Structure 1
Amino acid sequence: MLHESLIELDAIPVGRTGDGAGYTGWLRQLDLGGLSLTDVGSDPVRVVRAPRMLVGNQDDFYLLSIAQEDSSSLNGNVRSHLHRGDAVLLDSTAPFQLSADEFAHHLVLTLPRTDVARVTPVSRERVGRRIAAQNPVLRVLRATIKEIYANGERLDSDLLPELGNVLRELTFSVLRSDELTDQAGVNGLLGHQAQLLRMRDFIQRHLAEPDLSAKAVAAAFGVSVRYVEIVFRESGTSPARYIRSTRMEEARRNLASPQRRQRPIAAIARSVGIENPTVFTRMFRHFYDVTPSEYRQSQAGEHLRRSGTKTSPPR
């Protein structure tokens, strides 16, 4: 599969003998217009862009490879050890290697060198050098890719080029950011759409905090409350509305979960940042037209019907 993919590569198993029986691996490629996104996993392997593949070859791409498991890269004399979440920029016009002694898993963004060169010229020293997982712009890129894969088959094909443009801009920003860690610099690199993804991720991770608000988001990102409101308004909502809907959706999932059936409703309310059970019930009814207890009972009944379990009527 690698041999016939967008950029010709060889895959050499590491520490495996025999006919490959029991091999585990995959390669899934998503075409997003001016950029492709590849999810590739494999048993221990060494992936090689060999010198012979460059002879007479017209491939002219940059690859930003994001490690999902520990691995290493070799580009010329530059060897980089990659931990989970780290990334490395590779050049299709030069030999390189990616290898892993344990299970290998990378997300690879491939885009034409000419596109990158027009926006952010890349020095020879930049290629093959590790980009740390803590890089704030790289974190945004990883969150965006995660959101794309989470939607899976539900993605409208008409949206794919738009998603490709978002990923292209984020990839350019990662390359420009280098080891950028100051919040002001990150804000200067990212547009509203990328900032929205970061803010949504922040809200999801802080749902349990009762004082979560546009003010808290603004303080975390070093921007004004007005800026946060503008970013959310462009997506058709407001920070307060998004926080409420995210809290209710998380609470709904918890109430429907068989594993949390014994958990008190008040505890579920607190887990999404609502300390007053009466307020929680009122909000939940507003969103779903039923109380939390009614919803939990209906989901329990549905679970029993699906499992084929018979219940006796209450006495």
Structure 2
Amino acid sequence: MRALTAPAAPPHADAERNRDGAAELARWLAPVSAGARTAGPEGDARCRGFGYLRLLLWQAAPAQLSRTPRTVAREPLDAVAVVLPRHGTTAVTQDGRGATVGAGELTLIDLRRPFALERAAGASVLLCRLPAHALGLSVADLRPVLGRVVPVGGDGVAALLGPLLHGLGASSDAMSATVGERLGGVVTEFVAALVNEWNEPPQEPTDSGCPGREALLRAVREHIDRHLGDPDLCPERIAAAHGISVRYLHRLFEAEDTTVGRLVHRRRVEQCERELSRRGRVSPSISAVAQRWGFRSPAHFSRAFKAVYGHSPRQWRAAALGATQSAPPRA
């Protein structure tokens, strides 16, 4: 491991690009240590400032970064960061809690304490750093959100924060310093509101006939399995079908090592795999299987299937049917 430190980033709004992504992260995000990585450049980091807010788009080659207890003690910070993947996944670990965050999700890390961050190959992630004191929140307030997968969709604050950060990342470099400072303040208010939202107890169903948590989880899973073929199946519809809020639905799955969206995605892929593996005289086309289980396009299905099983649907079917096709004809 090698320590990476650099002088503080300039306070004014600007844009920079450097192929040494880890060095740029050390300068704009926090002093970190870089672990082993694949051969070649670490990727590039595009960095911009909006007042005291810093945005970093980090992409290309896979990389592992960590902020160790020794680094924290040697170079303390007063900052937190929002981790918002644009493509692929980024794994975050802090306080013994790990989260693999994908596109359409976000999480928070506290830069004042040790953490580890690993970006998958080909992934790009937007990192937003802001002063911790500007949030007006304690460490205890932040802890419930750190390392948690927070869906950007739905009806909560994250549904507003995610698009705002993506928009700032793609905005023009010609923005004035005054406008940039105001936008930095807006983002800070959204992040503080997100933390407050996740610290509030969820609004649980009050109907006396409503089932308990385990029974409700079971009912939600059964509902998902019954409606996998509906391409419009989403957290909003699932929550409405059970008379609960979308936020409460997400809270139900906190201890399940998955999210509602990931469960729907995985169950669809599993059902497609079972159908593609069947051996019969007449087999449906791959596109027909994808459509039957709720995928809107064969291309989307192919990417999803390969991400789970490591092979394309066509390769998987060929392997499953290979024994039958290669068997000699009966006398």
Q: TM-score, normalised by structure 2?
A: 0.48
Q: TM-score, normalised by structure 1?
A: 0.50
* More helix, by proportion: 1
